[in-house]
Amino acid sequence: MRAARFHGRGDIRIDQIEEPVCGEGEVKIRPAFVGICGSDLHEYLGGPIVIPTKPHALTGGQLPVTLGHEFSGTIEEVGQGVTGLKVGDRVAVRPNLSDGDCPSCVFGRPNCCRKLGFIGFSSNAGGLSDHVAVPAKHAIPLPEGFPLDLAALVEPLTVAWHAVDRSPVETAQTAIVVGGGPIGLAVVQVLKARGVKNIIVAEVSDQRREYAQILGATHVFNPITDDVVAKVRALTNDAGADISFECSGAQAGFDTAMNGIRVRGTTTIVSLWEKKPVIDAFDVVSYEKHVIGAAICEDGDFEAVIEAIAAGKINPRPMITSKIRMEDVEEKGFKALVNEKDKHVKILIDIEA
- C-alpha closest to that of 343 among 327, 324, 320: 320
pTM: 0.96
Residues 166 and 273 in one domain: yes
| Residue closest to 334 by CA, chosen among 40, 51, 52, 5 | 40
Helix axis angle for 228-235 and 251-259, nearest 10°, is: 20
CATH of the domain at 239: 3.40.50.720
Task: Using the predicted structure, report yes or no on whether residue 283 has a pLDDT greater than 90.
Answer: yes
Q: 279 and 328: one domain?
A: no
Mean per-residue pLDDT for 71-79?
A: 98
pLDDT at residue 274, as a whole number: 83
Residues 73 and 60 in one domain: yes
Distance between CA atoms of residues 318 and 207, nearest Å = 12
Q: Which domain holds residue 228?
A: 157-293
Q: Do 131 and 188 sit in the same domain of this protein?
A: no
Section 305-326 average pLDDT:
97
pLDDT, mean over the chain: 97
For the residues of 149-216, what is the DSSP string, one character each? HHHTTHHHHHHHHHHHHHTTGGG-SEEEEE--SHHHHHHHHHHHHTT-SEEEEE-S-HHHHHHHHHHT
Whether residue 302 is contained in a domain is answered as: no
In this structure, the answer to whether residues 284 and 331 fall within a common structural domain is no
Look at residue 304 and tell me if it is in a domain. no
Confidence of residue 306 (pLDDT cuts 50, 70, 90): very high
Question: Does residue 63 fall inside a structural domain?
Answer: yes
The predicted structure's pLDDT at residue 332? 97
Q: Please check the confidence at residue 185 and state whether its pLDDT lies above 90.
A: yes
Residue 342 pLDDT: 85
Residue 122 belongs to some domain of the structure: yes
| Same domain, residue pair 73 and 114 | yes
**In the predicted model, is pLDDT for residue 234 greater than 90?**
yes
Residues 28 and 148 occupy one common structural domain? yes
CA 187, CA 317: separation in Å to the nearest integer? 15
pLDDT at residue 235 tops 90: yes
Which residues, in sequence order, are bridge partners of residue 244? 176, 267
pLDDT digits (tens, 9 = 90+) for 116-174: 999 999 988 999 999 999 999 999 999 999 999 999 999 999 999 999 999 999 999 99
Q: How many domains does the chain have?
A: 2
Is residue 300 a part of any domain in this protein?
A: no
State whether 169 and 285 are in the same domain.
yes
pLDDT(353) > 90: no
Q: Is 307 part of a structural domain of the chain? A: no
Residues 190 and 109 in one domain: no
- Residues counted in the chain: 353
CATH number of domain containing 118: 3.90.180.10
Structural domain contains residue 303: no
